[in-house]
Amino acid sequence: MSNVVMGYKQSTFPKKLAIVSGIILLAFVILPFMVGSFQLSLMSKLLLFGALAVSLDLVWGFTGILSFAHGVFFTLGGYAVAYYLKLNLSAENNNYGGDIPDFMVWNGLEVLPWFIAPLKYFPVAFLAMIGVPALFAYITGSFIFRSKVSGVYITIITLALSSALTTFFISQQAYTGGTNGITDVSKLSVFGMVIPPVGLYFLILAYTAFVVALAWWLTQSNFGLILRSINENENRISFLGYDVAQYKIFVWTLSAALAGVAGGLFVPLNRFISPVYLAVAFGTQVVIWVAIGGRGTIVGPLAAAMILGQVQNSAERVTQDWNLIVGILLLVVVLFIPNGLMSLVPKKFSLSNLSKPKPMPETVVKPVAPSVSEPQPEPVQRGS
């Protein structure tokens, strides 16, 4: 594929931003040795929420697809890991001393369901953490984008998916734990060694850094230019011969896989997963992170998720109406900073500035004066 799309060319990664990114990453590496266990756990959770927000930014900020279903992808990945950790819980720690999870015993199941049993093995659970949300996204995305559904109708479909799956998971209490979800899971271990909270933090930090780097690389490539072109003028990019639906399906599926891994890492950190993360409320929260941070900025949604998480944690100590504070902050951003918090950052340090394609300079064609040596045409004389 050519390096030029619709008269645009790729931008380059400046050294100053690389240095700033390295300093920020170093600060996060040092952080566990400077804070307590509660703040370490909170930061780990907020990093995962930030990675989830970046995955939504790929489809909304760059492709223009507003989705409230990213909580669904997050939760599907979480349930895959939760089953693995629950099935590997020692018999001594199981309320009934058997291999079947307690919530299944409560609901009368005597045999482990065939579609859950393979999740006892780590390779299967790992593939399910990525594959189940990705497959679900691919199926729904193929239906939506091949049918040429666009605009607000996509948003309505994602809202319906979130509501329907929330109801389904709650109703299937024998298999999903119902409203309570899957709780009291075992700790994540590698070769029999339990990963401590600091180890989980570094694992989550590495994954979040990977998501940010992958998102930046994709949006700086020709693929990213096409996504932005689809967002700005879908019909025009289609007339140029690009399969718009295929690009949408790919970024939708990739985003779901990234969200699923974030959900999978969330489970060993918090030791539970429940349908509350399937609900529209959580999906709306992810949308708010992207809106406040700045669509199409990559770093903005990550920063907003972490900042709002700290605001929520502080506000909950004072009042139970912390949602009111978040709502006021969202209102202020929409009215006075419509491009998000990242619009306040100098452009040379902003990933959004880098991801915008730069127009190629126009070629100026100057008229060439006739040479002196060239014969000049004689005027035609008309007969009288």
Distance separating alpha carbons of residues 192 and 186, to the nearest angstrom: 12
Q: What is the pLDDT of residue 373?
A: 45
Q: Kindly list the strands in the beta sheet with 8-9, ordered across the sheet, starting from the edge strand earlier in the chain.
A: 4-5, 8-9, 358-359
* Under 8 Å between Cβ of 176 and 275: yes
How far CA 357 is from CA of 5, 222, 225, 231, in Å, comes to 9, 10, 7, 13
- Tell me the β-bridge partners of 272: 183
Report, as ranges of residue numbers, the positions in the chain whose pLDDT lies below 50. 1-11, 352-355, 357-375, 380, 382-384
Q: What is the pLDDT of residue 295?
A: 92
CA torsion angle for 60, 232, 213, 33 (degrees, to 10)? Answer: -50
Residues 6+ apart with CB under 8 A from 110: 100
Distance separating alpha carbons of residues 52 and 78, to the nearest angstrom: 12
Pair of tokens at residue 60: 């909304």
Q: What is the pLDDT of residue 11?
A: 47
pLDDT tens sequence across 322-340: 778 777 888 888 888 888 8
**Closest to 113 in 3D by CA, of 93, 123, 99, 134:** 99
Pair of tokens at residue 22: 């390295």
User: 14: phi > 0 → left, psi -120 to 50 → alpha, else beta; which?
Assistant: beta
Residues 6+ apart with CB under 8 A from 204: 44, 47, 48, 265, 269
Q: What is the pLDDT of residue 4?
A: 47
Q: What is the pLDDT of residue 381?
A: 52
Q: What is the pLDDT of residue 226?
A: 94
